[in-house]
Structure 1
């Protein structure tokens, strides 16, 4: 593949927001080593590499490429190339928050482009409009946005048309001209919708593209909310709620709606990816990491080429459906953060309500502090937990706060909150935790409801634990040599094998002792991917995985689940791409490994990582942990499965949330070390279906005697 083709492919990935794929495509042919000295070629390559460096790292990594491009453009005396470099500086400084430097660069680009009648003038005007709005001058921002739109009559837009309406609408909103702003944001959404099907063809590309598009839907929701607060017109409130939901987990909903068979070629790519991950775990050399990057790129390219242009998506239930079916003891809470204000929409007892919350900077600082104190087992965590509860939920209507089941749809960093450990109040100086009153279900999006009439699968528990991880394990017949590096290294830098998890065997035995039905155990050399596939083929109600997880060498925020060593001495890996292709068939997936549910989150798509992958595989819900948990005797799991078996609810997220609440309340009441939220608050349930009523359920969700 030539350098030019690699550059074009990398550029496409970049504009779709898939930066790591763009970097892999750029590295595929070693772009800068295969170029002619022509500035027309070299400068765009430098600018492209600068954009990639700033997205993946920061502005400091981009600076050498920007400066090299500027020197080449100035020495070439080519005004068009010089304006291109100034425009690139403006973009990167804006993203880095250096607005004065971004303004200077944008004005320099505009000056050149006006003189040369460059068709890219409208793009530079729009960039400066955004900068001036961030600098607190909405009047000039509006003038610049209108000038940019006027330029479209002379030249075809060089940026997506929806951005012009979005940025003008945001400037109008800052000036208080909300009806006009609403019209522009509605126009932006209409121009955006036709673009989305092609973006959904590959998951990694779709996720990043949907995240950038989320700005449009969030702005529309914010403007509609302001109109509602000013007028009391419920139509604006409903429009805001619908806008906030429309783009949530768009790619996830598309994956669930496709049900396509990727074929044997894709299985081969997954095998290549797993081998590359293992190699990078053993030796995180530049060569290994580059091979891993190329393997991930091929997965994305295969997804693009294997799908038709017709891509459906799982529908979001209508507001009327939710109102008519949500039980009286349940509430749906949709959260949205914003720089000036944040919001909570609540649905309960057939009513949609709105609460205004503090800005995202306040919520982020409080969330970060609370997580740190919880993980340190500090007594101060109760204070920050109360502050965070008040910031998020104290303004909710009493009717909502009195419900017993909450389905929370967080936004971005709000996924990292251990909601169970938020403190509602202090009674006689002791914290009263949220989970003591409410069963909590976390959701990336709102799926069509689950009926209590759904026929449950056979009550089978399939449990995997205590795999073989190192050559010293006496259960290993032929001890091969294997050492994992990555984050699992000793202080002296030598790689070490993963330790055995003997307590996980006790954990799954304790779980089975409380299970109401049949069970299958897979430990030692049986804890393999082949046995996992066989277990899933039996459609278990619950798949319990008590295994090691390690950070992915490609992305430290992403985890890999490790099964037993094979006869070749390699552990079997479960990465998100492999998991998403498994037939999880409505099962509850329990991952009790260290930080099994910890992952980065992204605007629109929500929590990433293994939990998301299991939902994409069809799981009804996932129970995981946010930070490492001790390998204990399984008391919490015994309580969880006892409650699961005694529940009147059908298998699914609502039942899992109820059972986890029972287990966490037992831990709080234990008056032992297990009563600390450091122990029980790490666990959470992720699932997107809410449970609606049944004639045999009362208003409080319990069966009549």
Structure 2
């Protein structure tokens, strides 16, 4: 997001500040408050995130309020995705021998050179015509005071920076700030702790007859480590938790391995008694104490609350006076003025036997055809999802004015063409289907829709991340009710939230609900429908997605068969909590 140079500079600055703070070395401004504030900013420079980059770019488009810039920015993203895909294609073609390999490499190289030339031209055009765009897409770190001004009275913010030698934690509310250092949780120790917890979360943990059909039947079973879940809470949250006293919503910004673990599964009390469903049911989880939402960076708070707003009256009082003041999206701001409250797609027509346990599916490269298109025969062989159909039918009943495409109507053509206008006008957007993770080849993460008889560039039954990024949304809440939708885009070292979440942020979402592992079909149906029911509770703020998700998790946990967090905790709300 901020470039390798700034990342290195941020780490160096953080190390320098921490050295001064820990050594007692004299400096003119080395008060605890000044050191804490300086370290908070330095930590932000040390965070690089593709999802944060996507939020910055779409907020810049809104702030400029210019369709020409929007077209150029979208073309630039398409060119970047095409350039990266061609680089991978060229690498793969070097293994093809003889005349065929040479000819295919030459064609791919010509395409690559043409894309790079056009990208250079687009960059020059943006720089010449829209100089403010570059400034907005390279946001600086926010100060403690700026961050506090953007928080609501009932919110706290937790920033966790994982470094090789230790982890640094900041807790902020509108009027307080604290920081702490977790000495025993350097990068290696943090990765080991998260891996240990995820082992049980991604094996459904308890293979008993009274539970939901085992998500991972036949795989090794691991009990959820409540002691480790409490240790992470005690090291990362408890030292600064006094700042969050009386707060209802906790916004988190995390790095490293923590991006793959929902903080909802942290336990606020040391475990008592033996493991088992009764112990899990009695465990006090962090999600019970706070509604949780995560952001890819602290500066994303400014992007969401100062630029990505449909009405200047909705901007945070903490925004600079000039930031996004002229933003005016084409879609009306008030819910009553929108033609569709909800647009939903899913339960695709697939030939595989229904799998009542899971919405899991193989990696994306397993359905890739000879070229860039998906192999429709492989898509059609995936299991049908009865839970998705129930989920969407329930939402259709709840929102009579909704656009809901189920089964044969849930096609890529509908999403990208026929229903594009309705999709762009919807306040809530739901995709309930199989989610495929990025593979080891050029295959992108994506969502499965009803496959056509023959794959084309317009419709191959697979909405990839780059295609999702080209959608035009004005949605407050995008729900990706599928497996592994929080996974990275498959690049070496790619951080969590860099795949589908990034794509939907770039398309214009304010918040995205994504999953961290293979989810239970039945439990997910309950979670999603209960979350939307909470949005409609009399007296509730219809925009309060974080608290709605908290209610949805509570509804799933109320079922004794689903007390294990593998069932109720896979989803994380990324973006504006409400």
TM-score (normalizing by structure 2) = 0.69
Aligned to 1:156: none
Distance of 2:496 and 2:4 partners within structure 1: 9
Give the Å deviation of 1:273.
9.4
Preserved CA contact (<8 Å) 1:487 1:551? no
* Structure 1 residues 140-183: Cα deviation after superposition (integer angstroms, max 9, x where no partner): xxxxxxxxxxxxxxxxxxxxxxxxxxxxxxxxxxxxxxxxxxxx
Within 5 A, what are the aligned runs for 1:395-414? Answer: 395-400=239-244, 403-414=247-258
Which of 1 and 2 has greater Rg?
1
Count the aligned residue pairs: 462
Within 5 A, what are the aligned runs for 1:45-60? Answer: none
Q: 1:527 to 1:301 in 2, by over 3 A?
A: farther
* Structure 1 residues 659-686: Cα deviation after superposition (integer angstroms, max 9, x where no partner): 1111101222222x22221111111111
State the superposition RMSD in angstroms.
4.2
Query: Structure 1 residue aligned with 2:537, among 609, 634, 646?
Result: 646
Give the Å deviation of 1:467.
1.7
Matched, 1:507 2:361: no
Query: Structure 2 residue aligned with 1:444, among 296, 299, 313?
Result: 296
Aligned to 2:210: none
Q: Which runs of 5+ in 2 are unaligned?
A: 25-29, 62-68, 206-221, 274-281, 315-332, 355-361, 369-376
* Structure 1 residues 629-656: Cα deviation after superposition (integer angstroms, max 9, x where no partner): 122272212211011123767665xx22
Distance of 1:564 and 1:622 partners within structure 2: 23
Give the Å deviation of 1:245.
2.4
Give the Å deviation of 1:297.
8.4
Secondary structure of 2:17's aligned partner: helix
Distance of 1:263 and 1:398 partners within structure 2: 43
Secondary structure of 2:164's aligned partner: coil
Aligned to 1:374: 201
Secondary structure of 1:331's aligned partner: strand
Give the Å deviation of 1:547.
2.0
Matched, 1:561 2:447: yes
Secondary structure of 2:402's aligned partner: strand
Query: Structure 2 residue aligned with 1:685, among 569, 573, 578?
Result: 573
Aligned to 1:343: 168
Aligned to 1:622: 512
Q: 1:593 to 1:304 in 2, by over 3 A?
A: farther
Distance of 1:562 and 1:641 partners within structure 2: 23
Preserved CA contact (<8 Å) 1:214 1:604? no
Aligned to 1:432: 284
Secondary structure of 1:632's aligned partner: helix
Q: Which runs of 5+ in 1 are unaligned?
A: 1-206, 474-482, 692-705
Q: Which has the larger displacement, 636-645 or 546-555?
A: 546-555
Matched, 1:675 2:529: no
Please state which structure has a larger fraction of its residues in helix: 1
Secondary structure of 2:533's aligned partner: helix
Q: Which has the larger displacement, 383-392 or 608-617?
A: 383-392
Matched, 1:255 2:57: yes
Preserved CA contact (<8 Å) 1:423 1:432? yes
Aligned to 1:236: 35
Distance of 1:382 and 1:264 partners within structure 2: 45
Within 5 A, what are the aligned runs for 1:571-650? Answer: 571-599=460-488, 607-632=497-522, 634-646=525-537
Preserved CA contact (<8 Å) 1:544 1:590? yes
Matched, 1:312 2:135: yes
Aligned to 2:330: none
Aligned to 1:330: 155
Q: 1:220 to 1:270 in 2, by over 3 A?
A: closer
Distance of 1:268 and 1:212 partners within structure 2: 25
Preserved CA contact (<8 Å) 2:172 2:243? no
Query: Structure 2 residue aligned with 1:526, among 409, 434, 444?
Result: 409
- Which has the bigger relative contact order, CA under 8 A and spacing at least 6? 2
Distance of 1:682 and 1:526 partners within structure 2: 28
